[in-house]
Amino acid sequence: MAKFELQLEGKQLIIDPQENGVYRVMENEEKIGVVYATIDNGKVGWSTQDELPDDFVQQLGELITDHNSASE
């Protein structure tokens, strides 16, 4: 899967999908974190082990989901 750009909270982000299902999040060529989808009771959520705010991660995950759905 190829890299793609998203805009969130006024930031231009580059999303770099990895083979293992995680997404590397870059801003200005600098990695700000990694996010990945989780499933809880059939509901998709998003998580990270980096120091990113939970609401930011959830919004970013929704944008990634939308992008992936539009690309299919």
pLDDT at 40: 87
User: Tens digit of pLDDT for each residue in 6-65?
Assistant: 999 999 999 999 999 999 999 998 999 999 999 989 988 999 999 999 999 999 999 999
Question: What's the chain's Rg over C-alpha atoms?
Answer: 12
Query: For residue 45, which amino acid is it?
Result: G
Range(s) of the domain holding residue 30: 4-71
Number of domains in the chain: 1
d(CA 66, CA 72): 10
pLDDT at 21: 92
d(CA 63, CA 67): 6
